[in-house]
Amino acid sequence: MTTAATKATLLKQLEGLHHIPTIPAVLAPLLRYLERPLEHLDVQKVTEIIAQDKSLAAQCLQMANSPLFGRWQKVDSLHGAIVGLGFQRVSDIAMSCGVLNLMPRASEIDAVAFWEHALGCALVCRHLARNISYPDPGKAYLAGLLHDLGIVVNLWILPKEFAAAFELARSEGIPLHEAEQSILGFTHCESGRLLADRWELAPDLKEVVATHHTPQEARDHAGLVALVELSDLLCRLSGLNYGYVENRQVNLLEQTGFAVLSQQCRGLKDFDWARLTFELDSYLDEVHSLVRAIYRT
């Protein structure tokens, strides 16, 4: 199939909405509820929403017990998790578990490695956001988690062609989006943009999904896109890259995202990158075992 024909197939399938993953049922009401001011939130109500999906509830509990979410004491009920961790973290956790279930189970690539990248990127985004005084670390987490949504679309719609692109990227040690461009004629940014529209994601998340590999094209939310670009790069160069490591040297300080973000966040110029890279290594084992455990739930 030519790349033009492949792209046409993608667009047709997306328009026909066949095989397109839908946003997990529990997440839409949960995220809507969590938009309310903190003083109007009720622990019982949040527990009830999550409990509607038994497997999501079990996954949330597992994640709530991970040190990655700051929990060092065992939590054994959903209610306890919400009280102990707070609404924001529970919303992060519920969203993470919800999107984890989107990947086709019999997939051409290692689903576990893919979600390790997504979860790793979400954690790095939040960590970086907090340390440079970016105004919304919760949004940064969500943006990191969802940035590669287009890969899920490619896997559902063009599994064989995507597998060929993935194999090219892995064998050559090149970025996945470059391999997609040469084999499919488009990248997961384009397919992700279509799914983000379909899901009616917030405009800032849509822009992240669509432009995280071309941050110079970001318009209204360039700061968030920049944060994700840098965090994504860090993950890809440190063993959280869908099961292979890119074969190249990158200077983070020369990236488009760095220039954009340093204008918005004064804390960035003093940020300790060496320390983050060191901390990232300590995340690796935890992210690996957490994703593996949740994926088997």
- Residues engaged in binding Fe ion (CB under 5 A): 148, 232
Nearest approach, Cβ of 121 to Fe ion (angstroms)? 6
Nearest approach, Cβ of 174 to Fe ion (angstroms)? 13
Backbone φ and ψ of 254, nearest 5°? -100, 5
**Rounded distance, CA 269 to CA 254, Å?**
13
Nearest approach, Cβ of 65 to Fe ion (angstroms)? 26
Give exposure, 112-122, as e/b (b: 16+ Cβ within 10 Å): bebbbbbbbbb
**Token digits of residue 67:** 């040190």
Nearer to Fe ion, 81 or 177 (CB): 177
**Rounded distance, CA 56 to CA 49, Å?**
10
**Which residue lies nearest Fe ion, judged by its C-beta?**
232
Nearer to Fe ion, 53 or 207 (CB): 207
Nearest approach, Cβ of 139 to Fe ion (angstroms)? 17
Nearest approach, Cβ of 256 to Fe ion (angstroms)? 15
Nearest approach, Cβ of 201 to Fe ion (angstroms)? 16
In whole angstroms, what separates CA 174 from the centre of its chain?
20
Nearer to Fe ion, 65 or 126 (CB): 126
Nearer to Fe ion, 62 or 211 (CB): 211
Nearer to Fe ion, 53 or 221 (CB): 221
Nearer to Fe ion, 148 or 204 (CB): 148
Nearer to Fe ion, 57 or 230 (CB): 230
Give exposure, 146-177, as e/b (b: 16+ Cβ within 10 Å): bbbbbbbbbbbbbbebbbbbbebbbeeebbbb
In whole angstroms, what separates CA 103 from the centre of its chain?
13
- Span between the terminal Cα atoms of the chain, in Å: 38
Q: How many beta carbons lie within 10 A of that of residue 106, not counting itself? A: 7
Give exposure, 243-272, as e/b (b: 16+ Cβ within 10 Å): ebebeeeeebeebbbbebbbebbeebeebe
User: What is the residue type of 140?
Assistant: A
Helices (H) and strands (E) in the chain, counts: 16, 0
Nearer to Fe ion, 120 or 223 (CB): 120
**Rounded distance, CA 67 to CA 59, Å?**
15
Nearest approach, Cβ of 166 to Fe ion (angstroms)? 13
Nearest approach, Cβ of 235 to Fe ion (angstroms)? 7
